[in-house]
């Protein structure tokens, strides 16, 4: 099982766990132009990637690489072992379900105790199921998709709020560079 990490600094893991975040956008590797195969097809884009230029006509870009996650795939939500232990102490989860976790992590000085980058995916108590994968430029992401990102637009538009978040996570001027992205919609399983 693969794992996915959400940024804790912006409370994105918590947003997933409380079901307000149902989509995540990841910057795709940006290939050189000669590595893209551009084509037009009529009807549905069989790869699920590209942009609809006219009704029913897609200009599609087929990357030489694919998305990290596929539709239907179950992915573990990475959390530090310390976070999981704190949830267990609140009796949110059945203690008996964590025999493997306790044997592996509790009381040991492991990197995964405080850094979720080093945790084992099979020990993660929460999973999501990928329901949709899209491939598009960052600026082509819709307001609806931004709202699925868990964005609370406040007084601004969902897109502006999302662009601010992307800039904070990926670096200044990310949205103005308009990189190609993979968008993953998902549902929380547990």
Give the separation between CA 116 and CA 97, rounded to whole angstroms.
19
List the one residue out of 70, 184, 87, 183 whose CA is nearest residue 126. 87
Structure tokens given for 52: 């609809």
For the chain, the domains span 80-125
Give, in order, the Cα–Cα distances in Å from 186 to each of 19, 32, 169.
10, 30, 20
Helix, coil or strand: residue 68: coil
Full DSSP string of 151-164:
---TTS-HHHHHHH
Give, in order, the Cα–Cα distances in Å from 87 to each of 2, 33, 58, 137, 164.
22, 47, 46, 38, 31
**Per-residue pLDDT reduced to its tens digit, 133-158:** 888 888 889 999 999 998 887 767 88
Q: Which pLDDT belongs to residue 130? A: 94
Q: pTM of the prediction?
A: 0.75
**Per-residue pLDDT reduced to its tens digit, 75-126:** 999 888 778 777 776 666 655 556 656 656 555 666 777 778 878 888 888 9
Q: What does the pLDDT average to over 158-169?
A: 88
Q: Which of the pair, 111 or 74, is modelled with greater confidence?
A: 74
Task: Express as a percent the part of the chain with pLDDT over 70.
Answer: 68
The number of C-alpha atoms within 13 Å of 91 and in the hemisphere containing its C-beta is 0
**Per-residue pLDDT reduced to its tens digit, 3-49:** 888 888 888 888 888 898 999 999 887 655 544 444 433 333 444 44
List the one residue out of 115, 28, 120, 127 whose CA is nearest residue 76. 127
């Amino acid at each position: 099982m693969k794992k996915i990490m959400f940024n804790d600094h912006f409370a994105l893991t918590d947003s997933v766990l409380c079901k307000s975040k149902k989509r995540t956008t990841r910057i795709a590797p940006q290939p050189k132009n000669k590595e893209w195969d551009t084509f037009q097809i009529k009807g549905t884009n069989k790869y699920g990637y590209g942009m609809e230029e006219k009704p029913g006509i897609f200009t599609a870009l087929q990357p030489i690489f694919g998305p990290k996650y596929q539709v239907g795939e179950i992915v573990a939500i990475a959390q530090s072992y310390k976070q999981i232990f704190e949830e267990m102490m609140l009796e949110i989860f059945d203690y008996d379900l964590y025999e493997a976790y306790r044997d592996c992590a509790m009381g040991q000085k492991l990197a995964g105790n405080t850094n979720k980058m080093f945790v084992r995916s099979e020990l993660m108590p929460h999973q999501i199921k990928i329901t949709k994968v899209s491939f598009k430029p960052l600026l082509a992401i819709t307001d609806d998709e931004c709202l699925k990102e868990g964005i609370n637009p406040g007084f601004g538009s969902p897109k502006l709020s999302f662009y601010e978040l992307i800039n904070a996570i990926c670096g200044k001027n990310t949205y103005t560079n308009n990189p190609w992205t993979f968008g993953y919609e998902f549902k929380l399983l547990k």
